[in-house]
Chain A
Amino acid sequence: MQKKIFAIILIAALAISLFVGCGTKNQGQQPSQQQTQNIAQVLNDYFTEDPNGFDVQESTTLSMYTMARLLYSTLVRYKGETLELEPELLAKMPEVSEDGKVYTFELKRGIKFHDGQTELKSDDVKFTIERMLDPNGKGASTWLFEPILGAKAFMEGKSNSLEGFKKIDDYKFQIILEKPYAPFIQNFAVPSASIYSEKLVKAGGDNWKFNPMGTGPLKLKKYEPNTEIVLEKNPNYFEPGLPKLDEIHFRIIPDDTTAVMEFENGTLDVATIPITEYQRIKDSGKYNVLESVALNTYYFLMNVSDPKWSDVRIRKAMAMAIDKKKLVETLYGPRGTVAKAFVTPGIPGAYELGQGPAYDYNPEEAKKLVKELGGNVKVEAWQRGGDRLTDANIAIQAMAKEVGIDLDIKIVEKAAFGDARSKGKIPANYGNWWADIPDPDNYLYTFFAKTNQMSSGYNNKKVQEMLEQARTETDTVKRNELYRKIEDTIVKEDVAVIPLFHIKSLLATQKNVKGIFIHPTGVTVYINAYKE
């Protein structure tokens, strides 16, 4: 009996080994990938989250931004890896009137949407802007076009047409602002500002977001929700010789560890490397590891209107309690650099790297301030989601404890966190900001204007007036001076935020993948990518 059972088990094991063992590693790929091995230029990449359709006006996730840059085009774009703008759908950069309120645009002629017939015209730009602002629509990035004259009335449903858009002809139009807004043109480079076709969107109806037709270098070939997105070359793309890739396959792999394994297995050509894997992947020498400067600041924000954080001395003590160098080296190793200012270095008008108004680590001074406050101060911060405190929060908590600050950190589920933030109810939090546009306004106005969007509770009226003034200032030198003054007050005098560090973006590719890079705004650029 026993022998029989063992014999059955043995036969079964052999059968399974034969069944699974006769293949090679490459058989582990999805059939669609197998089929495409014969096509010359196919890049296999992944997202951790499905963008859920392709209406870039509805979502601001990184996967949607990446899709936007592939499927659609914007009026202007960043030149290569720089922060300099260049025309994309425009024939030339727009002309700006002396008072900074009137922008005159001219589109390139003959640009076709993915149907190969519909040509891009001025009306499409107007339609795109109005669709974003439509009070009955789902436009999530209304901030992009809010400075336009009449935008508020349009959003409130008080007018049917955007007053600040003047069509000159099919290819020329003007946009008039309510008041000058210096970084306005930058907004047109944000992926959410991709230009749609009025005719095709209307024809697509409810199904539009799953059958997008833009003017981008690639077009949608296949979409299996939560599984795979396949893009193919747009033969009508307006830039000759581009893109170099025939297809890009994006699998949806929610787990980073799985994605790294697929990458090491050769079934993915590109992978975002978690910091824990960075050194191992780099040292193996088998892959290209791309490190790119990224426009981000990791910070500790304190709500100055919260009674426990309202005394500037506790905020100052906190700023001097955190050993930023130790923090960044432990968390991100060579990938991070200590922040001395809130606005990331590299942004026009920002402090240069290593300079800025932030306090240095000084535990003795911090202890003195805590003593002044009566010793053993109790304060609270929140963490956005997670089942345990992050390493960064544990370290910050321990450093605060060293100087006598009892920092209680509560984990708040991410939707509840977002809700509390919109109501200004978060007492303090460790967080990060990745710039939408390379302008100090995108950091300082977002966090410290009276709209209190990020729950800073900031209420220094003088600074808030300066923030409004800086937005409308068209003289670059004066504007930069204003921002320095604003940042000095916020970071040094009021200590409303503690800039901690900046990190680089990391991307690993197989050795034969060339021409791909991550732009400082965080979006991966594939337009020149190819496989050797």
Chain B
Amino acid sequence: MFTSWRCNSLLEYILRRLLFSIPVLIGVSLITFILLNVVPGDPVVEMLGKHADPQTVQKIRQQLGLNDPLYVQYFRFLFNAVRGDLGRSFKTGQPVTKMILETFPTTLKLALSSAFVAIIIGLTVGIISAVKQYSFFDHFSMFIALAGISAPIFWISVIAQIYFGLYLGWLPISGYSSIKHMILPAVVLGIRFAASIARYTRSMMLDVIRQDYIRTARAKGLAEKTVIFVHALKNALIPVVTIIGMQISGLLTGSILTETIFAIPGIGRLSVWALSNRDFPLVQGTVLFTAVVFVIGNLIVDLSYAYLDPRVRLQ
């Protein structure tokens, strides 16, 4: 009875959140559409390059429906979008949905592998640093974490490519076709996030292990392992989960620099390419996709709060 009530309430909560996200998504698409049409740059001129003579420009604008009034163009997009059709890319002629779905698995692979690296390294280093506060490990790891956050990703990437790819020859320099290809980009991207996770975990853990209930747990004679991993960590994780959730959402929408440097055809590269070519349907599609990922990401983070802290109720 209780479980079924909880289950229904959870489903209701998820449905409500998803319903609320509809105006968000419409707002995002409308703002994107307005911005695309306000920012200077004709997609057809961009497509034709140096031989963009007015007659050819007009011919192709007509073809792409760009001569229609703006509201007609927007409602056409919206009408098709709700039916799952995001239109066709101006540049490739391919359906936008297909292009996004073909690219997403690569981004997903990179995002999950770098998130894995980030969480493992970040949590481990953060916990040890907190437990061994002011030790050599703490100072050293926090210095590395600071360096990790501050170092530009392209610099770390190039150094990693030169050392592990070119000099040692251990790993491929670029590409994404095998697990081996994914190690360098995942580690490079993951290290950056590991650094911030480590710093958050350390500070949250320090907060928690000074609480009375931890002293009580120790006084009860519980093993240090149990105190740290069962009593302290779970409570320290709530803000860390928020950070991880946001970062994973960010990773799922693509890491432009990493994808470019390692020649990985992910969503990040696709979005930038669409924007620089003024490929309106593809820009709309990738922005909408990004918004959906963030909406779902935030929902998952909120749901995880309830699991980590029973005091948090889904309303």
Say whether A251 contacts B175, CB under 8 Å. yes
CA–CA, A252 and B261, complex, Å: 11
Whole-angstrom distance between the Cβ of B261 and the nearest chain A Cβ: 5
Q: Within the complex, which residue of B56, B168, B174, B181 is in contact with A258, where a contact is CB–CB below 8 Å? A: B174
Report the minimum CB–CB distance from B118 to chain A (whole Å).
16
Say if the beta carbon of B177 comes within 8 Å of chain A.
yes
B165 close to A261 (CB less than 8 A): yes
Is there an interface contact between A24 and B169, defined as CB atoms closer than 8 Å?
A: yes
Interface membership of chain A positions 20-40, coded 1 if the CB is closer than 8 angstroms to chain B and 0 otherwise: 110111011111100000000
Contact B60 A138 (CB under 8 A): yes
Q: Is the CB of B46 within 8 A of A414?
A: yes
Question: Which residues 135-154 in A have Cβ within 8 Å of B in the complex?
Answer: 135-143
Query: What are the interface flags for A491-520 relative to B under an 8 Å C-beta threshold, 1 for contact and 0 otherwise?
Result: 000000000000000000000000000000
Which of A2, A227, A261 meets B162, CB within 8 Å?
A261
Q: Does B158 contact A (CB under 8 A)?
A: yes
Is B41 close to A, CB under 8 A? Answer: yes
* Minimum Cβ distance to chain B for residue A31 (Å): 6
Q: Are A23 and B170 in contact (CB under 8 A)?
A: yes
Is A60 engaged at the interface, CB distance under 8 Å to the other chain? yes
Would B93 and A267 count as touching, CB distance under 8 A? no
Q: Does B122 touch A at the CB level, under 8 Å?
A: no
B48 within 8 Å of A (CB atoms): yes
Interface residues of B in 4-51 (CB under 8 A from A): 39-43, 45-51
Which chain B residue lies CB-closest to A26? Answer: B169
Cβ of B276 to closest chain A Cβ, rounded Å:
6
Residues on A with C-beta less than 8 A from B269 are: 226, 254
**Which of A272-280, A284-292, A397-405, A418-426 contacts the other chain?**
A418-426
Q: Contact check, B41 vs A415: say whether CB atoms are below 8 A apart.
A: yes
The residue on A at minimum CB distance from B90 is A138
* Proximity bits, A118-147, B CB within 8 Å = 1, else 0: 000000000000000001111111110000
Structural contact, A31 and B178, CB atoms closer than 8 A: yes
Asked if A380 is at the interface (CB within 8 A of a chain B CB), the reply is no
What's the Cα separation between A227 and B52 when bound, in Å? 29
Residues on B with C-beta less than 8 A from A477 are none
Given contacts A267-B173, A415-B43, contact A257 B63 (CB under 8 A): no
Partner of A422, one of B42, B224, B263, B276: B42
Which residues of chain B (79-102) have a CB below 8 Å from chain A? 91-93, 99, 102
Q: How far is the CA of A155 from the CA of B169 in the complex (A)?
A: 56
| Docked complex Cα distance between A19 and B176 (Å) | 17
Which residue of chain A has the shortest Cβ distance to B178 in the bound complex?
A31
Q: How far is the CB of A359 from chain B (nearest CB, A)?
A: 26
On whether the beta carbons of A255 and B45 are closer than 8 Å, the reply is: no
Of B92, B176, B261, B277, which contacts A415 at CB under 8 A? B277
B40 / chain A contacts, CB cutoff of 8 Å:
413, 415-416, 419-420
Verify if B192 is at the interface (C-beta below 8 Å from A). Answer: no
Q: Determine the chain A residues whose CB is within 8 A of the CB of B51 once the complex forms.
A: 60, 140-143, 436, 453
A residues 63-117 with Cβ under 8 Å of B?
none
- Interchain CB contact under 8 A, B43 and A265: no
- Smallest beta-carbon distance B145→chain A, Å: 16
State how many angstroms separate the Cβ of A455 from the closest Cβ of chain B.
11
* Nearest B residue to A23, CB-CB: B170
CA distance A32 to B177 in the complex (A): 9
Using known A-B contacts A138-B63, A140-B49, determine if residue A28 contacts B171 with beta carbons closer than 8 Å. yes
Closest to B41 in A: A415
Residues of B within 8 A of A20 (CB): 164, 170-171, 180, 183
Judge if A183 is at the interface, Cβ distance under 8 Å.
no
In whole angstroms, how far apart are the Cα atoms of A20 and B261 in the complex?
21
Interface residues of B in 143-176 (CB under 8 A from A): 158, 161-162, 164-166, 168-176
Contact indicator B102/A28 (Cβ below 8 Å): no
By the criterion CB–CB under 8 Å, are A27 and B174 in contact?
no
Contact status B260-A254, CB under 8 Å: yes
User: How far, in angstroms, from A416 to B63 measured CA to CA in the complex?
Assistant: 21
Taking a contact as CB atoms closer than 8 A, the residue among B41, B53, B181, B277 that contacts A416 in the complex is: B41
A163 within 8 A of B: no
A265 pairs with B169, CB closer than 8 A: yes
Nearest CB of chain B from residue A380's CB, rounded to whole Å: 16
Task: List residues of chain A with CB within 8 A of the CB of B210.
Answer: none
Q: A residues within 8 A CB of B277?
A: 415
Q: When each residue 363-404 of chain A gets 1 if its CB lies under 8 Å from chain B and 0 otherwise, what string results?
A: 000000000000000000000010000000000000000000
A137 vs B47: C-alpha distance when bound (angstroms): 14
The reply to whether B41 and A135 form a contact with Cβ atoms under 8 Å apart is no
- Tell me whether A28 and B47 are in contact (CB under 8 A): no
Contact of A142 among B53, B169, B263 (CB under 8 A): B53
Give the Cβ gap from A121 to chain B, nearest Cβ, in Å. 27
Is the Cβ of A28 less than 8 Å from the Cβ of B169? yes
In the assembled complex, A200 has its CB within 8 A of some CB on chain B? no
Chain B contacts for A417, CB-based, 8 A: 41
Nearest CB of chain A from residue B215's CB, rounded to whole Å: 20
* Interface set of B (CB-CB < 8 Å, partner A): 39-43, 45-57, 59-60, 63, 91-93, 99, 102-103, 128, 132, 158, 161-162, 164-166, 168-178, 180-181, 183, 224, 260-263, 265, 269-270, 276-278
Mark A residues whose CB is within 8 Å of B.
1-2, 5, 20-21, 23-25, 27-32, 52-53, 59-61, 135-143, 155, 206, 209, 225-227, 251-255, 257-258, 261-262, 264-265, 267, 385, 413-422, 436, 446, 451, 453-454
- List 6 tightest A-B contacts by C-beta distance, closest first: A415-B41, A226-B265, A25-B169, A28-B172, A416-B40, A416-B41
Known interface pairs A25-B169, A30-B177, A138-B60; 13 further A-B residue pairs with C-beta atoms within 8 A, sorted by A's residue number: A5-B128, A28-B180, A30-B172, A136-B63, A137-B63, A206-B93, A251-B263, A255-B174, A258-B261, A265-B169, A267-B173, A413-B276, A418-B49
A-B contact pairs, 21 of them (CB 8 A): A20-B164, A20-B180, A21-B168, A27-B172, A27-B180, A52-B91, A60-B48, A60-B51, A142-B53, A155-B59, A226-B265, A257-B261, A258-B174, A261-B162, A261-B173, A261-B174, A267-B172, A415-B278, A418-B49, A421-B45, A422-B57
